[in-house]
Structure 1
Amino acid sequence: MEKIKLALVDDDYLIVTLLKSFFNQDQSTQVVYDTTDGYQLFNYLEEKNNERIDILLLDLKMKTIDGLEVLKHVKTNHPELKVVVVSSHYQDNSIGFMTKEGVAGFLPKGMSPFELLDIVKQVHKNGFYLNKDQMEILREQISSKVSKPMLDEDELLTDREKEIIKLLCQQKTAKEIGEHLFITQRTVEGHKNNLFTKIGVRNVAGLIVYALQKHIVTLEELSLN
């Protein structure tokens, strides 16, 4: 089984050291890069021979460069990299903003390493993490701010796209969706990217919020832990 490759960026050296030790002891994860300076991460990502990163665990408030700047740089230059922000400055009223910025998860510091490990696995499998409380908050925050589509609602999405959204809301992977719909994984990824563009979101979490707003799915139908 291939391990989930992690990067840790936090200006608290003790936190970085402890998390690195914890993740490297687990059979499913490996920390391939860690730093207390966000600028050093940029250098690592630009080196083509460096080991790939699946998930970046990122602090918000750091001395040399703040986490939001790091997030913006990563999502602009390495959009495939999933970013989970873990911060002592976590606030419920920031969930909508962080989701729009493209994070795969927004978490408070202080949770147990085992809980964080479980969330890392969910992000790696599903592309995002939102618990039910966060989903409720997110729906309220974004509902009044989502821009209206230029087309009529019935014309905006095809039946196939709605079907794919429903399966994504059930946390199905592209491979699982392809098998269910008898299409290739690459075709599923193409549909997903088209949906991001059509709806104006950056990740699956944004698709889920849209699906809730447009009654494509209900909160009870979501497969959230």
Structure 2
Amino acid sequence: MEKFRIAIVDDDYLIVSLLKSFLEQDPQLDVVFETTDGYQLLQHLESGAEIDVLLLDLKMKTIDGLEVLRHIKVKNFDLKIIVISSHYQDNSVGFMVKEGVSAFIPKGMSPFDLLNVIKQVAVTGFYFKPDQVEALRDQISSRSPKPILESDESISDREIEIIRQLCQQRTAKEIGETLFISQKTVEGHKSRLFAKIGVKNVTGLVVYALQKNIVKLEELPLQ
């Protein structure tokens, strides 16, 4: 069974402790780091520590969550980020996506729903609720900056199919089996797509696919 390394950063120590205890009951999750201080997280990442999914609050000690996001984006640390905030607003979803966030959820979410979000992000790279996609529709309008490509022809038919598969929340292994190629080949296509389109994660690919009408909103598998 694949295990996912989780880090928790929240300014409330009680929330950190309770969340750690709850998550570690699941055999797939291993909480490898927890802190109430955003600066300590950055130091941990700078040391070379490996994290699969980061649960990040926006309000923290020393530096806030937005500053943490900026540092992670600049340093290009390889991890997926779920922002859990009492300051949740639908109109901030687009901003969070641009900052490289894989999911943006309110603190009022139940622990069991959070567990589902964590696993979905760990495996597929993104999580959207239906109302978030509706909000995102306005936030990725023609007024919003779009990824710059030399030409749309630089995206091959095979890459378009892989984008569509990723938008369906399929793993590299599942995509490989569907397209009769290896998982390693799928991962290679995905990395090249990130570079071509100028995005950091699968969430960025989903936004690009919506912008370019590669997929429609109603085709996304939403919770």
TM exceeding 0.5: yes
* 1:140-151 map, 5 Å: 140-144=138-142, 145-147=144-146, 149=148, 151=150
Q: 2:37 aligned with 1:37, yes or no?
A: yes
* 1:25-104 map, 5 Å: 25-48=25-48, 52-104=50-102
What is the match of residue 182 of structure 2? 184
Structure 1 residue 44: deviation in Å? Answer: 2.0
SS at match of 1:7: strand
Structure 1 residue 198: deviation in Å? Answer: 2.4
Question: Would you say the 8 A contact 2:5–2:29 is kept in 1?
Answer: yes
Structure 1 residue 80: deviation in Å? Answer: 1.7
Question: Would you say the 8 A contact 1:58–1:84 is kept in 2?
Answer: yes
What is the match of residue 173 of structure 1? 171
1:36–1:148: structure 2 CA closer, same or farther, 3 Å change rule? Answer: closer
Structure 1 residue 78: deviation in Å? Answer: 4.7
Out of 125, 136, 139, the residue aligned to residue 138 of structure 1 is 136
Question: Would you say the 8 A contact 2:6–2:54 is kept in 1?
Answer: yes
SS at match of 1:25: coil
Structure 1 residue 136: deviation in Å? Answer: 1.9
Question: Would you say the 8 A contact 1:11–1:62 is kept in 2?
Answer: yes
Q: 2:20 aligned with 1:20, yes or no?
A: yes
What is the match of residue 8 of structure 1? 8
Report which stretch shifted further, 63-72 or 214-223.
214-223
Report which stretch shifted further, 116-125 or 207-216.
207-216
Distance 1:143 1:40 in 2: 37
Number of aligned residue pairs: 222
Out of 155, 158, 162, the residue aligned to residue 156 of structure 2 is 158
Question: Would you say the 8 A contact 1:104–1:205 is kept in 2?
Answer: yes
Name the amino acid aligned to 1:29.
Answer: L
SS at match of 2:24: helix
Q: Cα RMSD between the aligned structures?
A: 1.8
Give CA-to-partner distance per residue, 1:61-101, whole Å, 9 cap, x none.
Answer: 11310111112222333532111110111111110011011
Structure 1 residue 2: deviation in Å? Answer: 3.5
1:149–1:46: structure 2 CA closer, same or farther, 3 Å change rule? Answer: closer
SS at match of 2:17: helix
Q: 2:211 aligned with 1:213, yes or no?
A: yes
Structure 1 residue 224: deviation in Å? Answer: 2.3
Distance 1:169 1:211 in 2: 8
* 1:88-127 map, 5 Å: 88-127=86-125
5+ residue gaps, structure 1, are none
Structure 1 residue 150: deviation in Å? Answer: 5.1
